[in-house]
Chain A
Amino acid sequence: MSEPHPQLRTGADGRLQCKSAGSWIPVRVVRCFPWVSADRFFSLRDRDGKEAALVEQPADLDGLSRKALGLAVAASASCLEIRKIRRIGQDIELRVWEVETRAGGRKFQTELDTWPEPIPGGGWIVRDITGDLYRIPRPEELDQTSKSLLWAFLD
């Protein structure tokens, strides 16, 4: 028997809340499969890290809940998306990236033996030394300079 669909809302503080045992509790959303199935399977965790609900299919939720979930996912379960590569250089044991993301310009570093990784469903992900993730969804659509700079790193 499948679990009942949870009721969700955006709280006054802008954070996602889930109705549990008759009261609204703040939850954070975790994508179970961030690349393989980014639009399904969301685990909602309460403040102690316990699962308050599992949303397998957002389409099953009511309209308000779906909207609240969408906002929360956009805020916390996404990463910076690279639109242009300005430079990929090297500086003693670090690879230095200067990129343009949807959120603005960014300079970050990876270790020399950390490579971009292909993600299921297309695109590549770069993880910098602090754990920040940078996604290149469609490398083939980048400009020529970016593609040329990325040549050694993607295929």
Chain B
Amino acid sequence: MSSSTKLSNDQSLIRRFLDQPAELAAPVRAVLLAEGESIRLYVWADFDASLQLNGRWVVVTDSLVVIADDGDASGWSRIRREEIRQVREDSGMSGGWLGLYGEEEKLVAGFTFTNRQKRAFEQLRFLLQQQLDGHPVKPSNPDELYAEAVASRIRDAQSTVAKNQMAVIWRLLGYFKPYRKEVVIGSVAAGIMTLLNLAPPYFTKYLLDQVIRPVGEGKLRPENVVKTAVGVIALLGLIFVVREFCLWLRLRKMAFLGELVAHDLRQEVYAHLQKLSLGFFSKKQTGSLITRVSSDTDRLWEFLAFGVVEASLSVLMLAGLGGMLIWMDWQLGLVMTLPVPLFLVAYYFHGKVIHRRFLRAWRKWSDLTAVLSDTIPGMRVVKSFSQEDREKARFDKRNDIALASFNAVHQSWTSFWPLLMIAFHVILLAVWAMALARVLGLWGPPLTLGTFVAFLLYMGLFFYPLEVIGQITRMMNRAVSSAHRVFEVIDTEPPVAESSDAVRLDPVRGAIRFEQVSFSYDGVRQILRRLDFEIRPGEMIGLVGPSGAGKSTIINLIARFYEVSGGRISIDGVDLKRLDTGHYRRQVGMVQQEPFLFHGTLLDNIRYGLPEADLSKVIAAARAANAHDFICRLPLGYETVVGERGHTLSGGERQRISIARAVLHDPRILILDEATSNVDTETERNIQEALDRLVQGRTVVAIAHRLSTLQRASRLLVIKEGVLVEEGTHAELLALPAGLYRKLHDLQQQLHANFAV
């Protein structure tokens, strides 16, 4: 998605969902631009001084902070940025406060805001703080920053790109394109089938009026009767055959078609998921993503295969029936068709009542399942505090309430349908009464027996299409909701753009160079600032620093999970952006803090990066990772199934499998991300031994919480607030008495000594 599309989407979300402006008021912008100011950032402070929701703009330009309301520009507050000495932020229960202070801690401006504005205010605070810290930043797109900060929560929650329902339906129907032939065949078959449904009652009328009655009246000769009757029955037989054939054709084509489209969607979503950034996965819940690939595409299959066709056919059927009835007898026809809108209105209101009751029942059901998700994982705690009876009582109470709520739903529809049927039968009785009177010649124009019977048969066909039309809105809402969720994934652009003339380094030697590298996840908060360092092939580099210093960001950039915001990273002298990402990543290995094993055998897991690897190489890798012995202690050895529902391995064992995976993968650049932080000392020693073997002959970048594990590193880079503050060997850095590394090292030693006591 381009930057302008994203801005436009965010702004449309704000306009649609929030009662605040989607961008800086034009008069404010115009005044500031006329004054020659460059607008860098703006936020909407939604509370006024008396905590009323009367918003005002806070605009940061290169030299000013301007507080602008609806009034005349002469009444706006203008604070020179150089006067600001301090920025303070407080968070409250449902919002926050930001204060700008001048000399002698004098408050020059204060803003109270709700949580909705919090992210925008954090950007404002960061921008001003950076200037105070001597690292001024100049964001170039204030509209984008504001819209993103305000709309992101809606976007994340709604999983959509804010389009109208019909646009989504059209896009969905676009997936039929490759299967045009099947669509045409299926639709024509369905149309023919529907129209043929209208034929049998008409032939009944014909038989009664043109055959049976004339025979009774002696107006038709027996040989002609047989000929006509046989002809009509043969025609009816042909109609039934054609109708059943059309039904078969329609079901077959549309069911397969729906399945094909769902298959294509699933494939597209899953393939696209593989390209998306780690940031995308950290924002979305795993369950929600799985649902999009499975249940949502399934729901779309149902809609595409049957929903669209059923709805169209019902409209066609209803129109055909109405037309037929009025054509046969306009008076009786109108008696039948005029109440149709009333039925649809009744459906609509019943839908609303049911929705409300269902909503309530759904809430009660959530309360009930909340007890389950609380207590089942926490059963150990329940038992240890002997709270089984209390939990049982809690569940029983909620279960009873849920039952009552669902009974209310059932009460609603079980009352509605009989009432609706009564109304329908009243109409039938009216038709009967009017028709009989006319058939018997007691009232009105005469009516033939055949027309009367045909009417009765047509009336029986009336109810089903009415019911389907009543369900259309609900069906469309469900489908659109699923389609939105699926399209959101498909429409998310991968963060790393592949160069058209991508370079393949074969093999990568492992020289890494950071040149003035800056990086920001949100465009404002600089995580890395003009970072410069070089790693030679075969070196082992330890990254050290406090939490939030930017260490993980450095390894994410080396693995090319993100693109740099400024500067350049080169591998063997080639800009990382020019490399073929897939080819490059195959030469980069990672051992992470939380090793992940897929469901499958240990063999599959070790061979994950190289599925064809020779078994002897697998054993060699496992040996190098100190994993071979514990694997051989398992009854099924390397074919022990692990992962979900499989054998449970300890944290240290899982880590050694992931090291074996890395050894087998034989990467030229190895990244160790806190590989030994979650294990005991004995296991750590085992893992450390394995790592020592693994790092031989390759470039290694390691992050470790325990500094002692980095003593063997060729060099250590000490990072603080995104800046390289120290560099050298363990011994060299310890020799700096006021150094950050020395401080961190001493703290750990002290902690260790305290625990040792």
Chain A residues within 8 Å of B, Cβ to Cβ: 12-15, 26, 28, 30-31, 34, 47, 74-80, 91-94, 96, 101, 103-109, 111, 113, 115, 128-133, 151-153, 155
Contacts and interface: CB of A to CB of B under 8 A. Distances in A.
A93 B357 contact: no
Interface in B398-417: none
B47 interface: yes
B93 A79 contact: yes
A106 B93 contact: no
Interface of B: 16-19, 47, 51-54, 88, 90-95, 97, 99, 101, 105-107, 110, 112, 114-116, 118, 153-154, 156-160, 356-357, 359-360, 363, 366, 480-481, 484-485
Given A47-B88, A92-B160, A92-B481, A34 B93 contact: yes
Given A79-B94, A101-B53, A113-B366, A93 B19 contact: no
Nearest to A113: B366
Given A94-B154, A111-B157, A130 B115 contact: yes
Contacts of B18: 107
A93 B157 contact: yes
Nearest to A135: B94
A152 B360 contact: yes
Contact of B485 (A30, A76, A93): A93
Nearest to B162: A92
A66 B485 CA distance: 52
A106 B52 CA distance: 11
Nearest to A112: B362
A155 B159 CA distance: 30
Nearest to B484: A92
B158 A78 contact: no
A14 B116 contact: no
A153 to B, nearest CB: 7
Given A28-B92, A78-B93, A130-B118, 16 more contacts: A13-B99, A13-B101, A15-B90, A15-B99, A74-B51, A91-B17, A92-B480, A93-B157, A93-B158, A103-B47, A105-B19, A105-B53, A107-B18, A108-B116, A109-B154, A151-B356
A149 to B, nearest CB: 9
A132 B94 contact: yes
A94 B53 CA distance: 23
Contact of B107 (A14, A30, A80, A103): A14
A12 to B, nearest CB: 7
A101 B53 CA distance: 9
Nearest to B157: A129
Nearest to A127: B94
Contacts of B480: 92
B357 A152 contact: yes
B154 A103 contact: no
B90 A76 contact: yes
A11 to B, nearest CB: 8
A107 B105 CA distance: 37
Given A93-B160, A94-B154, A107-B17, A31 B93 contact: yes
B122 to A, nearest CB: 13
Nearest to B52: A103
Contact of B53 (A30, A31, A106, A113): A106
Contacts of B115: 130-132
Given A115-B363, A115-B366, A93 B159 contact: yes
A106 B116 CA distance: 12
Contacts of A94: 17, 154, 157-158
Contact of A130 (B97, B101, B110, B114): B114
A103 B363 contact: no
Contacts of B118: 130-131
21 contacts: A13-B99, A13-B105, A28-B92, A47-B88, A77-B92, A92-B158, A92-B159, A92-B160, A93-B160, A93-B481, A94-B157, A94-B158, A101-B53, A111-B157, A128-B116, A130-B116, A132-B95, A151-B360, A152-B356, A152-B357, A152-B363
B484 A93 contact: yes
A130 B18 CA distance: 12
Contacts of A76: 90, 92-93, 95, 97
A30 B115 CA distance: 16
B433 to A, nearest CB: 41
Nearest to A93: B158
Contacts of A79: 93-95
Nearest to A134: B94
B359 A152 contact: yes
A13 B366 contact: no
Contacts of B485: 93
B94 A104 contact: no
A155 B357 CA distance: 13
Given A94-B17, A105-B19, A133 B99 contact: no
A111 B160 CA distance: 13
Contacts of A26: 88
Contact of A104 (B17, B54, B156): B54
A21 to B, nearest CB: 18
B153 A129 contact: yes
Contacts of B97: 15, 75-76
Nearest to A116: B363
Given A92-B481, A103-B51, A130-B116, A109 B360 contact: no
Contacts of B360: 151-153, 155
A12 B107 contact: yes
B120 to A, nearest CB: 11
A129 B152 CA distance: 10
A38 to B, nearest CB: 10
Q: Which of A13, A47, A77, A153 is most buried by chain B, counting CB atoms within 10 A of its CB?
A: A13
A103 B158 CA distance: 27
Given A31-B93, A79-B94, A92-B480, A103 B53 contact: yes
Contacts of A75: 51, 92, 97, 112
Nearest to A149: B356
A106 B93 CA distance: 18
A103 to B, nearest CB: 5
Give me the 4 closest cross-chain CB pairs, A-B, nearest first: A13-B107, A76-B92, A104-B53, A79-B94
Contacts of B357: 152
Contacts of A96: 17
B367 to A, nearest CB: 8
B114 A132 contact: yes
Q: Which of A15, A26, A96, A104 is most buried by chain B, counting CB atoms within 10 A of its CB?
A: A104
A44 to B, nearest CB: 12
A52 to B, nearest CB: 13
Contacts of A153: 359-360, 363
Q: Which of B94, B154, B157 is most buried by chain A, counting CB atoms within 10 A of its CB?
A: B94
